[in-house]
């Protein structure tokens, strides 16, 4: 291993600019003549828009335009779409309601954009926005997914009776019934997976610009996938032909999924820029982000697990209602279906699984993928069932897991996935050692002496990452392929530019992609730059989400590097007057086998461009290669997290006092970055388990609309984290990578709730497990610390 | 933020004059509540009167058996002052529990108690220590000063200049934070000075900070956590929201009061 190659904990090249404030985020960019957009949003969860009077607003100082859904429709700007088709059990397609970028006739959630004011300054736009007079007829609203299908619930979209988008299922219901009939024990749980607000540190932003001479549009946008944004805005929304639209995602400050989607505001910024003939900037305020960024999770589930007399799992069934909010966001339909039910086998051999999912509209912010996307929800169902099953049957939770682990690979689950490699017992064993599981009883007594209730909880999770084989997802309804592209451009001086269709918004790609190329080419990491996030530079790419950039994006890079090496060997053969087959490439040097003749990397690069040593008929000049890589399978990162908590029975406060994470991500490019990803994921998972939760009142108002009421995890929620790894190589990609970006957020919630319920002696505890919720649960069990 | 006229008076008299002339004007002390509210356009005072140029409004001094803190003294200054740490350590500690470092370096004691946020910490200290609030017009006992949620005995054009705290024999503050805002979900300040016992509660009451007479009576017999064993207060009149039901808040008042007394006498509860 070289000091900067694969496996080296190289410090991140991009951090200097990020931590010294010299990055370039969308809001740092200002275009000549730029105007500002301010959105007028619905204060009502559900209302008919009877009329909009823009006269007073348009007369305010500095106002360039006041635009509404009527102008949008007149300009034939298309609706936002959901790009993954799901069919119901009865074969009918999902009920996708129209989603105009500005509400036309009806507002469906608090925050739904109804009009936009374009002003010379933001303050002027904002002042004028207050003068837009909208006459609403307020309608009854529904926010709770469990209530949306009930008789008498307000009907949100005509296309979807009973607010039902689809009624989907996966697995064999009859076979599961048979398995349950033979069961010795059945564990049953009602589970709410709480709604989360993503809250990336950089709020969303967009600048639209139109060049009337060239007829071209440019969009600077906080997106995780600029090419997908361009495709959707061109092909579906019809703003501009694809070749006349450039999308630039500059430095982006966190996404966690919420910046995958194509949102109304960026469409409006582009459209308004053409209308007013000026670049138009929009930057979300934090309060606006709460009402305008797609939320995550929000499932209501009943789940059951059947065991035989020895504790072997016989079957699992689950019925989930998934809240998709007021409109179907870009990938919303796939999250509670193919990213959820396909993971219900967990790390276990489960012969039969059946899952039904009803997706519903409610008068809330749209819900879509958020770090883990479906897989945290699945893991929470499986890992709660297993833990509670162990308690009910009086078995050790680790032992019960071990008994049921998948041990032979490949393993076909009953829910589509084919696990390719793993060693679940190895990560469990290592985690139990690191967590000193044997010493838990002693620690519990010590806590009791301090008046505290101590509990321990496991989460042995699995996820499907490296998203995804295009043919497979196509057969499941995806509107896109999920391959990735890379291009390697070698300059005459030997420095290298890597262009990737992946996008970094905090993951450190500028370092890790360079590490892969540095290792392969034997050149210093500083001679390599990584280019991403601009549709004019990178030809096409699918972006970053689903822990895919290493497994898929770097695989494309490896393919492109293969081609570079092959071409460079041809150049070197001419330079060294040897047969191409005799050229060896190692540590940045081309040599002729069995001789002392060699050429350095830089000389070969130069010769590729000056082309003095070969004729153009024999070999094309230049050294630039591209590749598309389509994965053959998902990857399956897995691991074991163990959480230990101390509960204060008087206040209900739960302190996480110990955390062990042992993950198997396959081959690791940069262990420091991977550890950081694990830390961040755990923090988000702890946030979901302990404190985060979007709350709507009965009128559909978001009660948790700011950080005064919506609690993000803080440093003092986290104990010191013990992080370790076990490695089984991923067999399906050239580097053996599985992916690490979502693991912590997937594993953590179940570990926390398993630990708290162990401490307090009841399974009746919903997330977030706030002090008040834990105290209320304890009022029923009256469990007090037992020091004896 | 809406546009406003910004005044920077040099004296309390000038500030009071500006207040008297402009009924809708707001004083800007630390601005840690006012400015966020203005940025969200929830408040739009046409006139803002900045207090920072007025000399003599900040500072900490002992005079006889009381500690006087200038209205413009920041939470951080109170928290780190050796004088406060020596005279009323619980008050220094309380100041260090307010908000975050940025808030503590800007927010002031005068601003906090004039705002009388029902979840703020300083009102509990003022009531729990029997402080006297000194204004440009008079001296007001803490018992008379806090008149309800976000309301005080301050009259128009009346400006807090100092707060004077008698030195207790024993005192402590226990705060249970709202996880999101880090304001007090419930905070209990207890003190003992001679025969005077005070138990003041912030965060819990639907009407702002209040004293708990039953706890004070019980503690008069013996100033020890045991005296409050099994005691709580009725849930009626407690605040109730997503962060804490009235029952939970009422329960926490008892728990925190016992813990505060234990801390005050140097024991664990």
pLDDT for A74-113, tens place per residue?
999 999 999 999 999 999 999 999 999 999 999 999 999 9
Q: How far is CA A402 from the centre of its chain?
A: 29
- Alpha-carbon gap: A562 to the closest alpha carbon of chain B (Å): 51
Of A629, A644, A678, which closes a domain? A629
Residues A367 and A250 in one domain: no
Contact partners, residue A110, CB within 8 Å, separation at least 6: A41, A42, A43, A44, A45, A291, A363, A365, A700, A701, A702
pLDDT at residue B268, rounded to an integer: 62
- In this structure, what are the phi and psi dihedrals at residue B23, rounded to the nearest 5 degrees? -60, -30
**Average confidence (pLDDT) over B189-198:** 97
Decide if B269 is inside a domain.
no
Among B223, B181, B233, smallest CA distance to B198 is for B223
CB-closest option in B40, B179, B255 to A711: B179
Per-residue confidence at A714, pLDDT binned at 50, 70, 90? very high
Residues A597 and A638 in one domain: no
Residues A512 and A422 in one domain: no
Decide if A541 is inside a domain.
yes
Pairwise CB contact (< 8 Å): B179 & A771? yes
Answer yes or no: is the ipTM higher than 0.90. yes
Residues B176 and B233 in one domain: yes
Res A787 pLDDT > 80: no
CB-closest option in B2, B40, B243 to A772: B243
Q: Print the domain residue range for B119.
A: 60-166
Q: How far is CA B194 from the centre of its chain?
A: 23
The answer to whether the CB of B167 falls within 8 A of the CB of B65 is yes
User: For strand B47-50 and strand B5-7, is the pairing parallel, antiparallel, or unpaired?
Assistant: parallel
- Alpha-carbon gap: A301 to the closest alpha carbon of chain B (Å): 23
The answer to whether the CB of A511 falls within 8 A of the CB of A670 is yes
Of A602, A629, A656, which closes a domain? A629
Cβ of residue A701 closer than 8 Å to a chain B Cβ: no
Residues A234 and A372 in one domain: no
Peptide bond into A468 cis (omega under 30): yes
8-state DSSP, B236: T
Please give the structure tokens belonging to residue B59: 């500072």
- In this structure, what are the phi and psi dihedrals at residue A526, rounded to the nearest 5 degrees? -75, -15
Pairwise CB contact (< 8 Å): B242 & A710? no
Decide if A217 is inside a domain.
yes
Per-residue confidence at B269, pLDDT binned at 50, 70, 90? low
pLDDT at residue A782, rounded to an integer: 83
Cα–Cα distances (Å) from A36 to A56, A111, A250, A615, A743, in that order, read 18, 19, 19, 56, 39
Res A10 pLDDT > 90: yes
**Average confidence (pLDDT) over A764-787:** 93
Residues A624 and A678 in one domain: no
Residues A659 and A538 in one domain: no
Show the DSSP H helices in chain B as ranges: 12-21, 34-39, 75-80, 82-87, 89-96, 101-106, 109-115, 122-129, 142-145, 213-221, 246-264
Q: What percent of chain A has pLDDT over 70?
A: 100
Please give the structure tokens belonging to residue A576: 């060294």
- In this structure, what are the phi and psi dihedrals at residue B42, rounded to the nearest 5 degrees? -85, -20
Cα–Cα distances (Å) from A561 to A87, A374, A610, B180, in that order, read 41, 34, 21, 49
Pairwise CB contact (< 8 Å): B248 & A775? yes
Decide if A168 is inside a domain.
no
The answer to whether the CB of B78 falls within 8 A of the CB of B92 is yes
Q: Quote the mean pLDDT of chain A.
A: 97
CA distance B128 to B209: 10
Pairwise CB contact (< 8 Å): A709 & B243? yes
Residues A516 and A540 in one domain: yes
Residues A584 and A703 in one domain: no
Q: Print the domain residue range for A554.
A: 483-629
Of B166, B182, B203, which closes a domain? B166
Cα–Cα distances (Å) from A431 to A663, A729, B19, in that order, read 9, 19, 65
Pairwise CB contact (< 8 Å): B180 & A287? no
CA distance A508 to A12: 6
CB-closest option in A703, A707, A712 to B242: A703
CA angle, corner A742, sides to A738 and A747, nearest 5? 100
Decide if B55 is inside a domain.
no
Res B141 pLDDT > 70: yes
Cβ of residue B179 closer than 8 Å to a chain A Cβ: yes
CA distance A601 to A587: 9
- Alpha-carbon gap: A756 to the closest alpha carbon of chain B (Å): 18
Pairwise CB contact (< 8 Å): A710 & B180? yes
Residues B69 and B145 in one domain: yes
Res A788 pLDDT > 60: no
CB-closest option in B1, B180, B255 to A651: B255
Q: How far is CA A293 from the centre of its chain?
A: 13
Pairwise CB contact (< 8 Å): A708 & B251? no
Nearest chain B Cα to A775, which residue? B248
Task: For A536-567, write each residue's pLDDT tens digit.
Answer: 999 999 999 999 999 999 999 999 999 999 99
Q: Which residue shows structure tokens 């006229």? A: B5
Q: Which residues of B touch A708 (CB under 8 A)?
A: 180-181
**Average confidence (pLDDT) over B152-166:** 97
pLDDT at residue B123, rounded to an integer: 98
Beta bridge partners of A458: A642
pLDDT at residue B267, rounded to an integer: 79
Res A671 pLDDT > 70: yes
**Average confidence (pLDDT) over A454-470:** 96
CA distance A406 to A422: 9
Decide if B257 is inside a domain.
yes
Per-residue b/e over A772-783, b at no fewer than 16 CB within 10 Å?
bbbbbbbeeeee
Of A586, A612, A629, which closes a domain? A629
Residue A125 three-state SS: helix
pLDDT at residue A1, rounded to an integer: 59
Res A518 pLDDT > 70: yes
Per-residue confidence at A384, pLDDT binned at 50, 70, 90? very high
Residues A330 and A416 in one domain: yes
Among B259, B236, B262, B261, smallest CA distance to B249 is for B236
Pairwise CB contact (< 8 Å): B251 & A704? no
Res B155 pLDDT > 60: yes
Number of domains into which chain B is organized:
3
What is the torsional sign of CA A419, A422, A423, A424? negative
Number of domains into which chain A is organized:
3
Q: Which residue shows structure tokens 């709660």? A: A384
Beta bridge partners of A606: none
Residue A776 three-state SS: helix
């Amino acid at each position: 291993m070289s000091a900067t190659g694969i496996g080296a904990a190289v410090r991140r090249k991009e951090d200097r600019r990020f931590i010294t404030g010299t990055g370039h985020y969308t809001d740092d960019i200002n275009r000549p003549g730029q105007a500002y957009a301010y959105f007028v949003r619905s204060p009502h969860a559900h209302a008919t828009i009877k009329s909009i009077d823009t006269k007073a607003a348009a007369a305010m100082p500095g106002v360039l335009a006041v635009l509404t859904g009527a102008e949008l429709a007149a300009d034939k700007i298309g609706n936002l779409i959901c790009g993954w088709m799901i069919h119901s059990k009865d074969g009918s397609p999902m009920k996708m309601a129209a989603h105009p970028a500005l509400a036309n006739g009806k507002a469906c959630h608090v925050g739904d954009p109804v009009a936009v004011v374009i002003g010379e300054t933001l303050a002027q736009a904002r002042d004028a926005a207050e003068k837009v007079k909208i006459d609403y007829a307020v309608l009854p609203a529904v926010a709770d997914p469990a209530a949306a299908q009930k008789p008498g619930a307000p009907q949100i979209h005509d296309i979807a009776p009973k607010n039902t988008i689809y009624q989907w299922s996966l697995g064999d219901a009859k076979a599961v019934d048979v398995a349950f009939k033979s069961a010795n024990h059945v564990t049953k749980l009602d589970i709410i997976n709480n709604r989360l607000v993503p809250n990336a540190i950089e709020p969303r932003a967009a600048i639209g610009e139109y060049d009337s001479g060239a007829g071209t549009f440019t969009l600077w946008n906080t997106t995780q996938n600029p090419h997908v944004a361009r495709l959707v805005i061109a092909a579906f929304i019809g703003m501009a032909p694809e070749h006349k639209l450039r999308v630039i995602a500059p430095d982006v400050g966190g996404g966690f999924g919420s910046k995958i989607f194509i949102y109304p505001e960026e469409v409006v910024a582009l459209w308004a820029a053409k209308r007013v003939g000026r670049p138009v900037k929009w930057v979300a305020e934090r309060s606006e982000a709460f009402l305008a960024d797609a939320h995550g999770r929000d499932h209501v589930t009943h789940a059951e697990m059947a065991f035989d007399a020895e504790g072997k799992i016989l079957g699992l069934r689950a019925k989930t209602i998934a809240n998709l909010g007021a409109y179907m966001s870009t990938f919303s339909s796939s999250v509670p279906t193919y990213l959820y039910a396909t993971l219900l086998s967990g790390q276990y051999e489960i012969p039969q699984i059946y899952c039904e999912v009803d997706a519903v509209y409610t008068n809330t912010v749209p819900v879509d993928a958020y770090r883990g996307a479906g897989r945290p929800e699945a893991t929470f169902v499986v890992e709660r069932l297993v833990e509670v099953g162990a308690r009910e049957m009086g078995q050790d939770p680790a032992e019960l897991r071990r008994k049921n682990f998948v041990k032979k690979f490949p393993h076909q689950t009953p829910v589509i996935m084919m696990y390719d490699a793993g060693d679940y017992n190895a990560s469990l064993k290592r985690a139990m050692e690191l967590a000193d599981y044997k010493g838990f009883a002693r620690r519990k007594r010590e806590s009791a002496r301090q008046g505290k209730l101590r509990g321990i909880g496991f989460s042995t999770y699995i996820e499907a990452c490296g998203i995804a084989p295009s043919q497979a997802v196509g057969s499941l309804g995806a509107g896109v392929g999920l391959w990735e592209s890379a291009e390697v451009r070698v300059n005459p001086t030997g420095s290298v530019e890597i262009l990737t269709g992946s996008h970094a918004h905090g993951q450190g790609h500028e370092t890790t992609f360079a590490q892969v190329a540095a290792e392969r080419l034997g050149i210093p990491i500083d001679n390599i730059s990584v280019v991403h996030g601009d549709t004019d530079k990178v030809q096409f790419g699918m972006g970053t989400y689903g822990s895919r950039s290493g497994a898929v994006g770097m695989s494309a890079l490896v393919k492109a590097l293969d081609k570079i090496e092959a071409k460079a060997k041809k150049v070197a053969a001419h330079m060294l007057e040897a047969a191409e087959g005799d050229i060896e490439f190692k540590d940045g040097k081309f040599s002729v086998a069995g001789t002392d003749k060699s050429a350095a990397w830089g000389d070969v690069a130069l010769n590729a461009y000056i082309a003095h040593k070969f004729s153009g008929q024999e070999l094309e000049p230049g050294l630039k290669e591209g590749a598309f890589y389509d994965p053959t399978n998902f990857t399956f990162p897995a691991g074991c997290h163990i959480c230990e908590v101390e509960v204060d029975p008087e206040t209900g406060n739960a302190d996480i006092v110990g955390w062990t994470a042992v993950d198997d991500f396959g081959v690791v490019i940069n262990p420091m970055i991977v550890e950081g990803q694990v830390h961040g994921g755990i923090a988000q998972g702890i946030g979901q388990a302990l404190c985060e939760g979007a709350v709507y009142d009965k009128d559909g108002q978001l009660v948790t609309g700011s950080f005064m009421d919506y609690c993000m995890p803080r440093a003092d929620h986290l104990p010191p984290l013990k992080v370790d790894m076990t490695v089984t190589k991923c067999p399906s990609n050239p580097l053996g990578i599985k992916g690490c970006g979502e693991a912590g957020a997937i594993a953590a919630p179940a570990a926390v709730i398993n630990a708290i319920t162990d401490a307090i002696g009841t399974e009746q505890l919903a997330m977030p497990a706030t002090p008040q919720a834990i105290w209320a649960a304890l009022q029923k069990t009256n469990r007090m610390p037992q020091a004896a | 933020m809406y546009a406003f006229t910004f005044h920077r008076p040099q004296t309390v008299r000038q500030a009071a004059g500006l207040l008297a002339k402009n009924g809708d004007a707001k004083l800007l002390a630390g601005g840690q509540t006012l400015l966020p509210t203005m940025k969200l356009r929830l408040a739009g005072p046409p006139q803002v009167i900045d207090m920072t140029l007025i000399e003599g409004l900040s500072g900490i001094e002992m005079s006889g058996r009381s500690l006087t803190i200038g209205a413009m003294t920041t939470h951080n200054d109170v928290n780190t002052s050796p004088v406060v740490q020596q005279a009323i350590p619980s008050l220094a500690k309380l100041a260090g529990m307010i908000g975050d470092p940025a808030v503590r370096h800007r927010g002031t004691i005068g601003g906090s108690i004039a705002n009388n946020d029902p979840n703020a910490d300083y009102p509990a200290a003022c009531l729990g220590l029997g402080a006297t609030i000194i204004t440009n017009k008079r001296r007001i006992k803490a018992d008379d000063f806090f008149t309800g949620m976000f309301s005080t005995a301050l009259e128009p054009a009346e400006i807090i200049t100092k707060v004077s705290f008698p030195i207790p024999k024993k005192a402590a503050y226990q705060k249970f934070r709202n996880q999101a805002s880090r304001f007090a979900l419930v905070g209990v300040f207890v003190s003992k000075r001679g025969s005077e016992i005070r138990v003041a509660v912030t965060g819990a009451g639907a009407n702002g900070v209040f004293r708990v007479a039953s706890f004070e009576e019980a503690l008069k017999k013996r100033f020890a956590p045991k005296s409050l064993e099994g005691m709580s207060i009725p849930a009626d009149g407690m605040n109730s929201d997503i962060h804490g039901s009235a029952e939970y808040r009422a329960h926490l008042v008892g728990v925190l009061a016992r813990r505060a007394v234990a801390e005050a006498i140097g024991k664990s509860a």
